[in-house]
Amino acid sequence: MANLISTLEALEIGKITENEPLKNHTTWKIGGPAKIFFEPSSVTNLKKGIEQIVNSKSPWFVIGRGSNLLISDEGIDGVVIKLNENIADLEQEGETIKVGAGYSLIKLATIMSKKGFSGLEFAGGIPGSVGGAVFMNAGAHGSDISQILVKCNILLPDGTFKWFTKEEMEFSYRTSRLQQKEKGICVEAVFQLRKGDKEKITKEMQKNKDYRRETQPWNYPCCGSVFRNPLPNHAGKLIEEAGLKGFSIGDAQVSTIHANFIVNKGNATAQNVLDLIDHIQQTIYDKYNVKMEPEVELVGETSL
Output DSSP code: residue 172.
B
**Which residues are tagged catalytic?**
174, 225, 295
In 3-state terms, what secondary structure has residue 210?
helix
The total of other beta-carbon atoms located within 10 Å of residue 88's CB is 19
CA–CA dist 252, 73 (Å, integer):
14
The total of other beta-carbon atoms located within 10 Å of residue 230's CB is 15
CA–CA dist 152, 155 (Å, integer):
10
CA–CA dist 254, 279 (Å, integer):
11
CA–CA dist 85, 259 (Å, integer):
33
CA–CA dist 120, 108 (Å, integer):
8
Tell me whether residue 209 is exposed, middle or buried, using C-beta atoms within 10 angstroms of its C-beta: 0 to 12, 13 to 18, 19 or more. middle
CA–CA dist 103, 110 (Å, integer):
12
Asked if 191 and 112 count as a contact pair (C-beta separation under 8 A), the reply is no
DSSP assignment of 257-300: S-TT-EEE-SS--HHHHHHHHHHHHHHHHHHH--PPPB-SEEES
φ and ψ of 127, to 5 deg: -85, 55
CA–CA dist 207, 223 (Å, integer):
21
